[in-house]
Structure 1
Amino acid sequence: MPRACEGQPAMRDLDPISIRLFLATLEEGSIARAAARESIVPSAVSKRISDLEAQLRVPLLERGAKGAQATPAGQALAHHARHLLQSMERMQREMAGYVEGVRGVIRLLASVTSLAGELPADIMRFRADRSQIEVDVEERVTPAIYRGVREGLADVGVASEFASHEGLQVFPYRRYALAAVLPAGHALAREPAIPYADLLDDDLVELSRDSGIAQVFDDAAREARTSRTVRARVSSFETVCTLVARGMGVGVVPLYLKAAKERALDVRFVPLTDAWSQPRSFVAVRDFDALPVAAQAFVTHLRASAAAAG
């Protein structure tokens, strides 16, 4: 630990109140006006500044007929003091924000299905009144989302029911319908609804093998006692729709993409009739009570948004 030079007293930590009163005196031009601004008696301000000068062992103010003016040492102190007090104010605001749950960074893993649906809008509504909270979003496949939350790589996950979420707390988020997406001229394009098995005579465009729904399609083909031919595996439902429009096959995507894709790509959406074709997505956490306050608020917001949507 550094020691004071011989013959000199050790310098105590500077008092923020004394520094603030010193700055007020400079800004007001007199001790009396500074005292009035800070609601304190002038003698107390004078004593604080005298103590500060004694502690720093240099004069800080020149007192005269024109009021109080900074000495060169006082000007140097004022420069540092303003930065110091601003930093302290920012620190206090940030700490208050954490206590009130209005500041923080939420690590979110989300599936392609949820990001193609209402989740982005829910995130933006959450942040509209909480601009100090950041939501860092990373897209993952459903099994990796639940695994990542379980391993502490994220605070919150949003994914479908098409993977194990053992060991996690999950809350229902939104239910969505799956539909076949077909070229506009396909023989099934005008049907009101079809089973998945009706698609198995065509080439298929699907999400990547490690997505949660891939296993569902495998199981459905086995139940239909037939095989399926996957022409392309891609990373998003938008790409599935694009490749179907270009004649590479047929696919299965969320029905909520219909309004955006049917006219733009000249494809048709036909709802599926299978029992698994109306899955629910979940909000997953390891332990809600152990989450940071900001993440708790986010989960509560998602649940409320889902409840309001029915």
Structure 2
Amino acid sequence: MVQQGIDKEITEYRLAYLYEVAEQGGIRAAADTLNVNPSAVSRQIALLERHLQIPLLEKQGRNVIVTQAGKLLIDHHREMLYRRRRLAETLQDMRHLRRGSVSVRVGQGIINEFVTGPLRRFSAEYPDVFVDIHSGNMSETISLILRGKVDMAVSFGPLGDPPVTVRSFQRGPICALFPPAHPLARQPSISLESLARQRLIFMAEQFGIQLYINEMFRERRLAPLPAFQCNHFSTAVALAMEGMGVAFMTQTSSQYLVDRGDIAAVPIDHPLAHTATFHLVRGQGRRFTPAAEHLWKVLINSMQSDIQDNPPTR
């Protein structure tokens, strides 16, 4: 109770009076700066001393000096002023999207596409916004979004009907990845029957692209056994580049590998391969920070632009 009483009496304007006395070197000068009567300054400091039961000012000739206790209060007030300025600056920066943070989950197979496309553009415009990037399976990602632990997700594959806001974009075709010198690398497309005779590289079941691959094989009543199964796309790509098996990615996501001459991407001859879907996911009704809202718009614009620049092939 005593502590609460003391805290109640250490009001901001009383500290401001004491602060100005120290800054201006006297009560009259502080009163002139604050545009109040000198008696008002003296009275408020006296009330503060009475409640704290310790002197804050001492007379020294015609002047007054601040005691050690007074200096502690002044340091506290100065720190509060600094923190308030920093808070105002941060809020102003956030209003103008210069600061803040965004958490985003990105499917492994589209990391390169995400980084070199929308994230590169976003970070160039707003370099002081912190972006937390993780990868993970879709069920875990949806759970984190619903719990407010993640702002948004960039994913690929069948999504179902979760209670989230989704923007979907067609991202086919799904391609088989071969070394450039492979006999099948120059084919305009490849059938699932031909693929079933190859050494295949599958991803773990939770990967969106593997769900598509499994469904395509099931639809054709094929059940090939993979030579390898991976939980990282970098592993699958490395195996495919060495000619040890056939991996799978969308044409868009594998384009950087094709451009470097590391791989050949041959579209799979199946309707589902050309209607594979890419999703942007966020919580329903959740209000984003300005930075997160801007990244969301950058992602949508990027996906729409890619569809215009690379229309689906049939």
Q: Normalised by the size of structure 1, how large is the TM-score? A: 0.77
| SS in structure 1 of the partner of residue 44 of structure 2 | helix
Paired letter, 2:165: Q
CA RMSD of aligned residues (A): 3.7
The structural deviation recorded for 1:32 is 4.8
Aligned to 1:303: 300
Give distance in 2, aligned partners of 1:301 and 1:198. Answer: 39
Q: Aligned pairs, how many?
A: 303
| SS in structure 2 of the partner of residue 270 of structure 1 | strand
Cα deviation 1:209-229 (Å, max 9, x = unaligned): 221222321222233343323
1:236-275 alignment runs, 5 A limit: 236-258=232-254, 260-262=256-258, 266-275=262-271
Aligned to 1:62: 58
Aligned to 2:312: none
**222-231 or 141-150, which moves further after superposition?**
141-150
**236-245 or 60-69, which moves further after superposition?**
60-69
Paired letter, 2:280: V
1:50-129 alignment runs, 5 A limit: 50-64=46-60, 67-90=63-86, 106-118=102-114, 121-123=117-119, 125-126=121-122
1:1-310 alignment runs, 5 A limit: 1-2=1-2, 11=6, 12-35=8-31, 37-38=33-34, 40-41=35-36, 43=38, 44-64=40-60, 67-90=63-86, 106-118=102-114, 121-123=117-119, 125-126=121-122, 134-150=130-146, 154-172=150-168, 175=171, 177-258=173-254, 260-262=256-258, 266-278=262-274, 279-287=276-284, 289-294=285-290, 295-309=292-306, 310=308
Give distance in 1, aligned partners of 2:231 and 2:203. Answer: 6
Give distance in 2, aligned partners of 1:164 and 1:84. Answer: 50
Contact 1:183 1:247 in 2 (8 A): yes
Give distance in 1, aligned partners of 2:69 and 2:191. Answer: 84
Give distance in 1, aligned partners of 2:286 and 2:19. Answer: 43
Give distance in 2, aligned partners of 1:250 and 1:291. Answer: 43
Aligned to 1:7: none
In structure 1, stretches of 5+ residues that fail to align are 5-9
| SS in structure 2 of the partner of residue 261 of structure 1 | helix
The structural deviation recorded for 1:234 is 1.3
Cα deviation 1:202-252 (Å, max 9, x = unaligned): 101121122122232122223334332311111233221211122321111
Give distance in 1, aligned partners of 2:76 and 2:32. Answer: 24
| SS in structure 1 of the partner of residue 201 of structure 2 | strand
- Give the fraction of aligned pairs with identical amino acids, expressed as a percent: 22
Give distance in 2, aligned partners of 1:73 and 1:222. Answer: 80
| SS in structure 1 of the partner of residue 22 of structure 2 | helix
In structure 2, stretches of 5+ residues that fail to align are 309-314
